[in-house]
Structure 1
C-alpha cells in the first residue's frame, strides 16, 4: 500500500509500530532514504512539517555510480556525467522509528524513478522488485528467510591496526570457538538488549540471537516472508546494530572476514516458493514428496550462482571468507542437512520445505544478494534441469567451484546474459562498471603483506 504524505491523515496510516513509538510525542524529523549499490543509506533528513507537504524528493542518479570508497564509476551512459535528478517516492509501509536519535524521528525507504516515471533499473530495491515480479507473473510467490552474521569488535580508528574482538562484560576480550554458548552471548548482554529494544520500536521480529564460532561473532535469524520486506529489514538492521554497538564503546562490522584466523560472516538465504492460487509450497507434492520444481530450483542455484558471486561476495575481502574447513562453502554441491555444501536442504516438515544458499556474505547489499539468489532459482524453474546427485559426506573434500577473487567473479557476471535479462541489462552494465572502478581503487593500495614479504626479498 502506497500512502502519500500529502494525505491529511498520513500519520494515522503509519504502520502500527511507528504509531506506537510516536504515541504521545510530536514527530520532529523524517529521514528519507534509499540504498545505493553497496547498501549504504543515502538520502535527506527533513523536518516532519516539510515531509507532510511533499510527496517526493530528488537526488542525482550518480549516487548509484559511487564506489564504497566514495569514488565514481564512469557509468552515466551516452549522455555523459550530467547527474540528472531522480524522483524518490516514499513507501510508507517502510516507515519506522530511528530510536537511537535524540529526538522523535522516523525513517522511510523511498523508491527511485526517472523523470518519465519509470523505475531506475540500477536501484537495488527496484532490482529485487523486478525479480519478485517475474515470479508472480508465473503464478509463484517467493519466500525467503535470511540469517545475519556479524562481529562486535573493539573500536578501531586506525586502519593500519588489526581488528580485535570487543571487551566483554567480564572485562575479558570475546573468545573464539564458543558457538551456541549462552555465556558468550551474555558477555554482549548490554548491546543485545539495545538491539532487541531498537528492533521492537521499529516493529521487527527477531527469531533468535546465537553466538557463532568467531570471537565476538553473533547471528540474528529473521522470520521468513516477502523478499522485499526482508531486504528492507536487513537494510535497517545493519544501521540498528551499528548504533547499538556505538552506545557501548564497540563497533559492529558486517565485513565478510574482519579478523584473521576467525570464521567469516555469512548471510545465508533460505528459499521456498508458494503457488499464488493455492498458497501451497511448490517444492512439496502429494504425500509430502519432493517435486520436480524443488530439484529444478536447486539446479538453478548450481548452474547460475557462479555468475552472481560478484553480487553476493562484492568486495576483495569477501573472498577471504571462502576458506576450506572454515564454515564457509567453496562448492556448489547440495545435500540434506549438510553444512559443508554450498546448497543445503534443512530439516523441515513437508509444508516448510526450503533450500538454503550458504554462499552469500554479510557484506552484501541485501536487495542485490536476495535478488541474485532468487534469480538463480527462477532460471532453474524456467529451464527445468536436474541438479547433480545429492552429496553425502564432507563436501570440503571436493573441488572448488566458485571464483576465488572479485576480478574473476566480475568476468563471470560479464558474460551471464541470461542473468542480465532477469536482473535488468542496465543494472548489469552499471554494476560491472562501478565494481571494476572499485577494484582498480583497491589495486592502488600497497598492503602490509606486500611491504613485509616483497620489500627486501624480490
Structure 2
C-alpha cells in the first residue's frame, strides 16, 4: 500500500514536470500553437478580443475559442475609433477627414497579453489587439500605436523609457439617474464613508471584501499591484503599479480599470475614474513616475557614474515644462478634468518642478541614483493610459533632443501660484494643434483625429444645462 502511494505521488510529480511552463503562465504566450494549448488546458470557451479606443474604452468582439484559434480574420469599423465619449462623430475640418466608406480595420491579437477574465461565469479569456489597415500598415491614430511610436523614437537614440503609474479612483453608491450627485458608499461599519482618510488602514478595511476581489481578479490575470492605499477623498482609493515598459504598463492600467469596475459591481457599488466626481472632494489623478535608461546596459540615464544628475535628466524636465501645457488635452481629456486643476489643493496648476515637493507639477522623489525619476502629477485618472504615457514621454523626449533647460526647482509650495495650464477643453485643443514638435512625435493622423473628437465632445457638453445655471440664472437675469 505504501509503495502504491509513493508511485502515485511520483506520478503526480512527473506529470507536473511534463506540463510545459507556458501552460502555467497567468499572462501571455509566445505563438498560436501555445495559445491553442493554453486555452484548451484551461477549458476556455470564449475569447474577448479587445482594443482601447481614444477614450480608453475596451472595444472588440467576443467569439468561441475554437474560432479564435482557426486563423479567423478580425475587423472593426474605423469609425469606432473616431467617436466621442457619447458615441457621436466629429465633423471634418482642421486636417481631419471623416472616412466616407467607414472601412474596416483589422484586429491583430497580441498573444503576450492573453489572460483569463476572472469575473465571467463561463470560462473566458481576453487578449489585447493592435489595429492595422487591410494592407498591414499600422493604424497611427490608435492609442496603443501612438504610445509604441513614442517608445520607438526613444529607441532610435539608444534610450528606453521606464514608467510606474499610480491610479486613483472613487467607490460610490450606484447612481442610475445622472441628474443626482454621487454619494460615498456605506462600508462594513454601516455608515457612509467620510473624507480625510488619507493612508488610513481602517478606511481600506471598510471595503475588505471588495479589495480582496480586486487582488484576486488581478492575480488571476497576472497583473501586479505594488501597493493599495485609501486616499483623502470619501471612498477614494489608489493603486500603485510596479515599474516597467510603457506599453506593458498601459496595458495593465487598461485592464485594471475593467477589473476594478467589475469588482465594485460585484459588491453593488460603482468604481469611477472621473477626475472630479464629487463636489468639494479631492479629484482623482493618474500620477506617472518616469525614468529613462540606456538600452545597451540598462543604466539610468538620469544619473551619471558618480551618482549626480545628468543633462538628460534636466532636459527631460525642461521638455515637460515647455510642452506639457500643449499636451494637456491628452492628460486632462474631458470638461470634468479641468474641475480638478484648481488652486490651493495637492493638484498642480503650473509647470514648476522640485525635489519631493507635491505642490509642483513635476516632482523628483527622494531616491538613490539608480532609481532617479520624475513624477508627472498633472494627469487625471480619466485619461486614456496609452495617451497619457505617450504625451508625457513625448514631451520629455523633445526636451532631451532640443536640450531644453528647466527653470530653478521650487523650494516652497507653489499650488497657490497663478494657473499656467489651459483652463478648459477648447483652449487645450488649440495649444495641442499648434505644437509642431508634438505633432511630429505623435503623428499627424492622431493629432487631427484626437483634436476633432475633443471639439465634438465640447459641443455635446454645451447642449446640457447645468444645475448652476438653473439656480443662479433662472430667476435673476
TM-score by length of 1: 0.95
CA contact (8 A) 1:4 1:55 kept: no
Q: CA deviation at 1:323?
A: 1.5
Q: Deviations over 1:249-273 (max 9, x none)?
A: 1100000000000000000000000
Question: Closer, same or farther in 2 for the Cα pair 1:195/1:145, shift >3 Å?
Answer: same
Residue 118 of structure 1: aligned partner: 137
Q: CA deviation at 1:326?
A: 2.1
Residue 72 of structure 1: aligned partner: 89
Question: Closer, same or farther in 2 for the Cα pair 1:217/1:307, shift >3 Å?
Answer: same
Partner Cα separation in structure 2 for residue 37 and residue 183 of structure 1: 37
Partner Cα separation in structure 1 for residue 110 and residue 84 of structure 2: 26
Secondary structure of 1:62 counterpart? helix
Question: Closer, same or farther in 2 for the Cα pair 1:80/1:141, shift >3 Å?
Answer: closer
Matches within 5 A, 1:371-390: 371-390=390-409
Residue 60 of structure 1: aligned partner: 77
| Residue 382 (structure 2) pairs with residue 357 (structure 1) | no
Q: Deviations over 1:57-116 (max 9, x none)?
A: 111111111110111113596574211011111000011111000111111000000112
1:166 to 169, 185, 204: 185
| Residue 35 (structure 2) pairs with residue 10 (structure 1) | yes
Residue 369 of structure 1: aligned partner: 388
Question: Closer, same or farther in 2 for the Cα pair 1:142/1:79, shift >3 Å?
Answer: closer
Q: Deviations over 1:171-200 (max 9, x none)?
A: 111110110000000001111000000000
CA contact (8 A) 1:35 1:41 kept: yes
Q: Which runs of 5+ in 2 are unaligned?
A: 1-27
Partner Cα separation in structure 2 for residue 2 and residue 413 of structure 1: 38
Q: Deviations over 1:323-365 (max 9, x none)?
A: 2122211011000000000110001111000001000000000
Matches within 5 A, 1:291-306: 291-306=310-325
Q: CA deviation at 1:2?
A: 8.3
Partner Cα separation in structure 1 for residue 365 and residue 410 of structure 2: 14
2:54 to 37, 43, 59: 37
Residue 416 of structure 1: aligned partner: 435
Residue 345 of structure 1: aligned partner: 364
Range with bigger deviation, 51-60 or 299-308:
51-60
Q: CA deviation at 1:286?
A: 2.3
Residue 150 of structure 1: aligned partner: 169
Partner Cα separation in structure 2 for residue 286 and residue 56 of structure 1: 51
CA contact (8 A) 1:274 1:280 kept: yes
Q: Which runs of 5+ in 1 are unaligned?
A: none
Q: CA deviation at 1:397?
A: 3.1
TM-score by length of 2: 0.92
Residue 314 of structure 1: aligned partner: 333
Range with bigger deviation, 79-88 or 356-365:
79-88
Partner Cα separation in structure 2 for residue 389 and residue 37 of structure 1: 36
Partner Cα separation in structure 2 for residue 95 and residue 449 of structure 1: 47
CA contact (8 A) 1:55 1:89 kept: no
Residue 115 of structure 2: aligned partner: 96
CA contact (8 A) 1:62 1:83 kept: yes
Secondary structure of 1:30 counterpart? strand
Q: CA deviation at 1:3?
A: 4.7
Q: CA deviation at 1:411?
A: 1.1
Q: Which has the larger radius of gyration?
A: 2
Matches within 5 A, 1:184-263: 184-263=203-282
Partner Cα separation in structure 2 for residue 269 and residue 428 of structure 1: 22
